[in-house]
């Protein structure tokens, strides 16, 4: 059987009891409301047909609070089947086994789960632990309930042993991705088992707590079910870190006046909002033990307001910003604490405004501002979404993937990505390692897409680079990524992104390009690492190590036929100049504004008027020489093309040059640096007036992000 035994004096039980006492009278879903009397009434026998069994009265009450029009008769029938099938089975504490599915169902009812989920929750252990068959469940309760029961049964069979984890956890993900309600039931099941873990051996308690910490709590966080997540955290904290837990518990007990201090602050906030005619409900929201522990590690000695936060609930989204404006006007805001998760919701559906304000006496309180709808989603996450398939036509098939798995249209985007890359993982161990690393990421950043397409944001773990953003946005098409613009400026793919950055990924048009092994040094997300590794394994020739620094790749220099330059005339006093030639540093062409200087051998070098060498020559006391263009339209110019490396780029650039009739006098391609390549071309133009059009054509070559006239200095003669 999947449920664990009850020991009322366990550390985990004590932790939950303390949490329940501290939660009274506040807007947080209380998942411990089901009393022992109701559980003991579970074995009282079947109820008359005209009313529900007494044992599920609390479930019915909680369910009707969220769904007033719900049909409760199906819950009565599910309870009767569950109670009769589990009759004679007991938990290790001696309680009737039916108390477990009842407690799990009440947890989900308090979270606002719809009737189908509650029905499946009551029956979630019947197919695994009794003679009831899945076909029997389908006949009596329909395909939806049967699907959920089957999904939970498969998840229950997962062995969390070290050897089994990599492969079997895939099954949990597939079940979760097919219908998130499966994981909702599993999380509620684990919560009740964690509450009643006391009679297990200490080593088994620790093993279950570690899996809960490493896998199920992060999943609860990503599914947005904060009410489950916070209680699970406290229960795990009590088992795995008993000394720190006791210290935190004593710290909370030593500050009984913290609630009063926060309450006084809440009254000030209420008065300010009332005077501004902003309708809002202001509540004190004490922190759970793990949160208090983290704050203590961060801030050291705690003050009264550090033991909780203020929660402001309003009716409309616009009211959230109205509240924020009043608070920042009437109190001193702590700007570094402000976060807007309404404009940019978190990956787990969470929306709220976070701020911190200081009262005249110096007390600082953190404030959460959200609507009642946002609050429901913040507490219950995906459970609040209801039936993902409701509203479909009766004859319409449920969407399925290529392998026959159904598709949940409400599943979060991160879960879709998780399911995608788990299929691409080369082996179970790589998948498991990557998954745990991904779930361990507590901090995330949100970056904005510069192209304006939906969705407009990309959620990434803190420390992610442009490589991660490319694969998060484009999937395997990111293999052809050439570079990026971050906040409007060109940046290499290795650039680490910050929260709020704007990113534009630049992709090559060809399908030959692929990632280099160096990308793995910059990839933080499992999706990026697995995709890059898969491509490199399929293209081993691309994974060859780069040349050693002691043997650098030589520059490529391509000489070509020399052509005569533009006609130039110089005006000198006395003897005519030996020669007049364009300066190599700026290669002027008609109709550039020019100036000249006399150098050794009687030669006049001609520079563009804005060339840096002009100022340098004047600084040396050299007098400029009057020069002018002749009638010949042809000219020689040096252009520098900055690009991202890709196969065939040199050929495409020279083709663009040839299209305009320009002849390549010489070409130089420098070795790539951070995937950037610098091309220098000296060109003979048949008509210098076409230079601007030629430069535009070169910029249009895929991978080229800039073309400019040469501005290098070749020294002074």
Task: Please answer whether residues 417 and 227 qualify as being in contact, where contact means their C-beta atoms are separated by less than 8 angstroms.
Answer: no
Tokens of 36: 């022992």
The dihedrals phi and psi of 426, each to the nearest 5 degrees, come to -65, -30
Instruction: Report the alpha-carbon distance of residue 111 to residue 385 in Å, rounded.
Output: 11
Strands 603-608 and 579-582, by their bridges, are parallel
Instruction: Report the alpha-carbon distance of residue 386 to residue 144 in Å, rounded.
Output: 13
Three-state SS at 577 = coil
One of 128, 150, 167, 317 is an active-site residue; which one?
128
The residues pairing with 460 across neighbouring beta strands, listed in sequence order, are 445
Residue indicated by tokens 């509450």: 195
What is the CA angle 326-332-336, rounded to 5? Answer: 105
Tokens of 551: 């043997």
Task: Please answer whether residues 111 and 384 qualify as being in contact, where contact means their C-beta atoms are separated by less than 8 angstroms.
Answer: yes
Three-state SS at 36 = helix
Task: Please answer whether residues 476 and 467 qualify as being in contact, where contact means their C-beta atoms are separated by less than 8 angstroms.
Answer: no
Annotate 308-341 with three-state secondary structure: EEEEEEECCHHHHHHHHHHHHHHCEECHHHCEEC
Three-state SS at 389 = coil
Q: How many CB atoms lie within 10 A of CB 263?
A: 15
Three-state SS at 370 = strand
Kindly calculate the radius of gyration of the chain based on its CA atoms and give it in whole angstroms.
35
Q: How far apart are the first and last CA of the chain?
A: 91
Burial class (CB in 10 A: 0-12, 13-18, 19+), 277: exposed
Task: Please answer whether residues 665 and 563 qualify as being in contact, where contact means their C-beta atoms are separated by less than 8 angstroms.
Answer: yes
Task: Please answer whether residues 26 and 284 qualify as being in contact, where contact means their C-beta atoms are separated by less than 8 angstroms.
Answer: yes
Distance, C-alpha 296 to centroid of its chain: 27
451 is catalytic: no
Task: Please answer whether residues 381 and 349 qualify as being in contact, where contact means their C-beta atoms are separated by less than 8 angstroms.
Answer: yes
Instruction: Report the alpha-carbon distance of residue 605 to residue 302 in Å, rounded.
Output: 74
DSSP string, 258-308: HHHHHHHHHHHHHHHHHHTT---EEEEEEPPHHHHHHHHHHHSSPPGGGGE
Tokens of 711: 């501005």
Residue indicated by tokens 């109190």: 331
Nearest by Cα to 708 from 684, 688, 678, 685? 678
129 is catalytic: yes
Task: Please answer whether residues 58 and 70 qualify as being in contact, where contact means their C-beta atoms are separated by less than 8 angstroms.
Answer: no
Tokens of 693: 């059009």
Percentage helix, strand, coil, to 5, in the chain?
Answer: 45, 20, 35
Give me the half-sphere count of Cα atoms (radius 13 Å) on the Cβ side of residue 585: 19
Residue indicated by tokens 């922190």: 287
Secondary element (H or E) of residue 663: strand 663-669
One of 30, 50, 54, 129 is an active-site residue; which one?
129
> What positions carry a catalytic annotation?
128-129
């Amino acid at each position: 059987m999947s449920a664990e035994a009850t020991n009322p004096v366990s550390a985990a039980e004590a932790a939950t009891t303390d949490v329940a006492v501290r939660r009274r009278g506040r807007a947080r879903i209380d998942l411990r409301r089901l009393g022992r009397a109701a559980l003991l009434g579970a074995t009282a026998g079947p109820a008359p047909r005209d009313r529900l069994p007494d044992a599920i009265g609390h479930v019915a009450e909680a369910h009707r609070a969220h769904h007033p029009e719900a049909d409760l008769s199906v819950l009565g029938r599910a309870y009767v089947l569950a109670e009769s099938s589990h009759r004679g089975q007991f938990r290790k504490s001696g309680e009737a086994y039916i108390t477990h599915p009842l407690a799990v169902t009440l947890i989900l009812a308090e979270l606002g789960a719809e009737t189908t989920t509650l029905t499946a929750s009551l029956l979630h252990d019947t197919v695994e632990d009794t003679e009831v068959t899945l076909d029997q469940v389908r006949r009596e309760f329909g395909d939806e309930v049967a699907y959920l029961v089957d999904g939970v049964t498969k998840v229950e069979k997962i062995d969390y042993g070290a050897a089994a984890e990599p492969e079997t956890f895939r099954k949990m993900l597939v079940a979760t991705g097919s219908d998130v309600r499966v994981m909702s039931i599993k999380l509620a099941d684990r919560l009740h088992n964690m509450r009643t873990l006391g009679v297990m051996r200490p080593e088994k308690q620790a093993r279950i707590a570690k899996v809960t910490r490493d896998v199920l709590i992060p999943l609860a966080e990503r599914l947005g079910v904060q009410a489950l997540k916070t209680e699970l955290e406290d229960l795990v904290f009590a088992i795995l870190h008993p000394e720190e837990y006791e210290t935190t518990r004593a710290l909370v007990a030593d500050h009984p006046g913290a609630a009063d201090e926060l309450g006084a602050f809440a009254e000030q906030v209420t008065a300010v909002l009332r005077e501004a005619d902003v309708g809002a409900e202001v509540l004190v929201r004490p922190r759970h033990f793990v949160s208090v522990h983290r704050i203590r590690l961060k801030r050291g000695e705690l003050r009264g307001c550090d033991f909780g936060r203020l929660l402001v609930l309003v009716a409309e989204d616009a009211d959230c910003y109205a509240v924020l404006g009043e608070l920042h006007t009437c109190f001193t805001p702590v700007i570094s604490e402000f976060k807007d998760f309404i404009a940019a919701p978190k990956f787990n559906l969470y929306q709220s405004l976070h701020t911190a304000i200081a009262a005249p006496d110096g007390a600082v309180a953190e404030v959460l501002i959200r609507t009642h709808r946002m609050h429901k989603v913040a507490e219950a996450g995906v459970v609040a979404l209801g039936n993902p398939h409701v509203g479909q036509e009766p004859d319409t098939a449920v969407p399925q993937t290529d392998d026959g798995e159904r598709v949940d249209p409400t599943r979060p985007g991160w879960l879709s990505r998780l399911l995608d890359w788990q299929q691409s993982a080369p082996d179970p161990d790589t998948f498991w390692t990557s998954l745990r690393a991904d779930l361990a990421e507590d901090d995330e950043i949100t970056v904005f897409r510069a192209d304006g397409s939906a969705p407009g944001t990309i959620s990434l773990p803190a420390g992610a680079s442009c490589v991660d953003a490319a694969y998060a946005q484009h999937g395997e098409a990111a293999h052809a990524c050439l570079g990026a613009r971050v906040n409007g400026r060109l940046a290499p793919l290795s650039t680490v992104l910050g929260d709020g950055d704007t990113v534009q990924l630049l992709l090559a048009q060809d399908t030959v390009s692929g990632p280099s092994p160096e990308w793995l040094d910059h990839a933080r997300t499992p999706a990026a690492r697995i995709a890059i590794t898969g491509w490199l394994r399929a293209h081993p020739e691309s994974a060859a190590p780069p040349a050693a620094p002691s043997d650098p790749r030589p520059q490529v220099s391509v000489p070509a036929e020399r052509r005569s330059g533009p006609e130039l005339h110089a005006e000198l006093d006395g003897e005519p100049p030996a020669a007049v030639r364009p300066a190599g540093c700026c290669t002027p062409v008609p109709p550039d504004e020019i100036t000249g200087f006399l150098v050794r051998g009687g030669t006049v070098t001609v520079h563009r008027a804005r060339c840096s060498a002009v100022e340098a020559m004047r600084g040396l006391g050299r007098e400029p020489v009057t020069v002018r263009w002749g009638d010949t339209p042809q000219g020689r110019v040096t252009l520098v093309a900055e690009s991202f490396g890709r196969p065939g780029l040199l050929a495409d650039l020279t083709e663009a040059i040839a299209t305009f009739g320009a002849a390549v006098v010489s070409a130089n391609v420098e070795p790539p640096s951070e995937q950037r390549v610098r091309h220098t071309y000296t060109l003979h133009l048949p008509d210098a007036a076409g230079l601007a059009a030629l430069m535009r054509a070169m910029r249009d070559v895929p991978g080229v992000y800039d073309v400019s006239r040469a501005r290098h200095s070749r020294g002074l003669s």
